[in-house]
Structure 1
Amino acid sequence: MPDTKENHDELTEPQEPAKDAAKPQAPEPAQKHADKHTSKSDSAKKPLPTVGLPVFIVCVVAAVVVGVLCGHFLLGGGSTSFSLNGTTKLTSDQLDSTIAEYTYDGKTNKVTAREVLAQNGSVDKFADSDGNYTVPAATDVISYARNQIVLDAAGNQNITVSDDEVDQYANKMFGSSDYSQIASQYNIDEDTAKDTIKQSAVMSKLRDSVVSTQVPDQPTAPTKPADGAEDTPTADYAQYIIGLAGDEWDADNNTWKSQDGDYAKALASYEVKSDSATYAAAQAAYYVAQSKYSTASSQISSEWTAYCNELLSKATIQIGSLAV
């Protein structure tokens, strides 16, 4: 296809990472912190995600943006100054050559092969036995451009993160702020690991600034009675239920404030007092809390998707190769 402004192909459904893999999902897993859009959990460290770390930053933006309109493709060839003319390999001195351009907010930015490769780890590891490098796949180029556009939007809003905030984010998402350990886990260098996590933290902070929905604390399931007495009322289960129900519970009258509340309706067949409730009642309350959490999480995802769609729909990208 000739590389002209008149020949655009809309990218309406970009390829996204395998979001069903074991990885942090958006919104993030529960964690204790003051962020109004995230949630609490216990202080036990979570295992490191098994998804590749460079994919994770894409997940923060791209995997949440299902069916995103990422501007238009302007295919390589014709008059473009960076057409690869059928090249599938690059020498080391060609890594800083422009392989794509994206335009956002009136500014055109060049993309080099080195930049695209670096988002997936140390550039050197991509060299073949002859010291040459495979031209980055078009999907990787688009992922790089997407990330940069969202980071640009954060920069336009003066959103930054301190070293302490990066450490907190790493601990929340990876269970550790030991970047050498994280880098080793994903077979990348430490600088790439920290830079990737920093960018992801910035995106998360941007998201929290643009979405309005507040996510309630992610509930923890009630502990099953050790003696198997699931029908024996206890004060612990009562307090568990009241803690989840919040202002739906009338402490002064030791009952529900209204029978129309979500918890009151779900637990209508159970007797709940401030010092007495069964495990089964606690389970019913847990299901209500989990449903509320899931609904709010989905709403945040929708709001963030809409925001990213708005950003990316204003962008155009020219790619010198559609290599895969």
Structure 2
Amino acid sequence: MGTPVWIAICVVALVVGVLCGHFLLSGGSGTATGSTTISESQLDSTIATYTYNGSSHAITAREVLEQNGSLDNQSNDDGTYNVPSADDILSYARNAVVLEDANSQNITVTDDVSQYAQSTLGTDDYATIGSNYGLDEDATKSLLHDAAVIKKLRDSVVTTTVPDQPTAPTAPSDGNQDTTSADYAQYIINLAGDEWDSANNTWASTDGTYYSALSTYSISNDSASYAAAEQAYYVAYSNYSTAASQASSEWTAYVNTLLSKTSIQISSLAV
């Protein structure tokens, strides 16, 4: 089966990231029949049970399937549905555990859902967003609500500040790396921030990462080469990548702590 829709939405949004870690997996209940499909009447049957912080929760086939899109888009020609895979069941349970943790911390979102959709997907037209994933408007809003809750939880957990991902400077039309312009100078100054002293038209210090990378280039408030701007981009991207990796590690460690308190029993799935 494909990537769960809510994860697809969050990947587009570059927010949630990968929820790694493992559950304590217990054996099957013995109810598996070996069938790879289920009928419509079986959609609300329990296919797994997870236990988190001492409380058990049933997971139905319907719940797992709906994280991949509308049921209409997943039915087979004979009206049956493919049994959810183990990966999809585990994915659903992971998300449920994270949302339960957010709820225990009274993390809620209201207008944040619209803001989240607009900032990450460029629109809060839930019908339009859902059409890309085979979801109706209500289901899309529900998934985005959950994503906004998880983002809010993540923001409260992760202490590393991740800068905006830098955009590379525009290369000169003739490909000449030594081409200079005021735009390239401004590009570098914007990235360097307080490492550059605009009032004195020079570096503010000689111990910063931008100075270390650009000290051999001729740079002023009004002029710098494309080569220098490109080098500044590499520094900015390295800083961004390092911070993003650290933030991801913090979030992964937090989620893994939650999952270490969770066990799951899968009773019926396609192998």
TM-score interval (norm. to shorter): 0.7 to 0.9
Asked if 2 retains the 8 angstrom alpha-carbon contact of 1:241 and 1:285, the reply is yes
Establish whether residue 69 from structure 1 lines up as the match of residue 22 from structure 2.
Answer: yes
Higher RCO (CA-CA < 8 Å; seq separation 6+): 2
Q: Which residue of 1 aligns with 2:51?
A: 103
- The secondary structure found in structure 2 opposite 1:197 is helix
Give TM-score, length-normalised by structure 2: 0.88
Give TM-score, length-normalised by structure 1: 0.75
Q: Which residue of 1 aligns with 2:196?
A: 249
Structure 1: 5+ residue runs without aligned partners?
1-16, 19-50
Distance 1:98 1:65 in 2: 24
Asked if 2 retains the 8 angstrom alpha-carbon contact of 1:77 and 1:85, the reply is no
| RMSD across aligned positions (CA) | 2.6
Q: Which residue of 2 aligns with 1:45?
A: none
Distance 1:300 1:98 in 2: 36
Give per-residue Cα distances to partners, 1:3-43, cap 9 Å, x unaligned. xxxxxxxxxxxxxx99xxxxxxxxxxxxxxxxxxxxxxxxx
Higher helix share: 2
Asked if 1 retains the 8 angstrom alpha-carbon contact of 2:38 and 2:81, the reply is yes
Aligned match of 1:135 in 68, 83, 92?
Answer: 83
Q: % of aligned pairs identical?
A: 57
Aligned match of 2:170 in 208, 220, 223?
Answer: 223
Establish whether residue 307 from structure 1 lines up as the match of residue 259 from structure 2.
Answer: no
Q: How far has the Cα of 1:141 moved from its partner? A: 1.1
Cα distance change, pair 241–129 in 1 and its aligned pair in 2 (3 A): closer
Cα distance change, pair 61–320 in 1 and its aligned pair in 2 (3 A): farther
Asked if 2 retains the 8 angstrom alpha-carbon contact of 1:89 and 1:133, the reply is yes
Cα distance change, pair 252–126 in 1 and its aligned pair in 2 (3 A): closer
Distance 1:226 1:135 in 2: 55
Distance 1:157 1:95 in 2: 32
Q: Which residue of 1 aligns with 2:211?
A: 264
Structure 2: 5+ residue runs without aligned partners?
none
Asked if 1 retains the 8 angstrom alpha-carbon contact of 2:16 and 2:154, the reply is no
- The secondary structure found in structure 1 opposite 2:224 is coil
What pairs up with 1:141-156 in 2 under 5 angstroms? 141-156=89-104
What pairs up with 1:1-324 in 2 under 5 angstroms? 53-56=5-8, 64-66=18-20, 68-70=21-23, 72-77=24-29, 83-162=31-110, 164-226=111-173, 230-324=177-271
Distance 1:198 1:105 in 2: 24
Q: How far has the Cα of 1:230 moved from its partner? A: 4.8
Which has the higher mean CA deviation after the structures are superposed, 87-96 or 243-252? 87-96
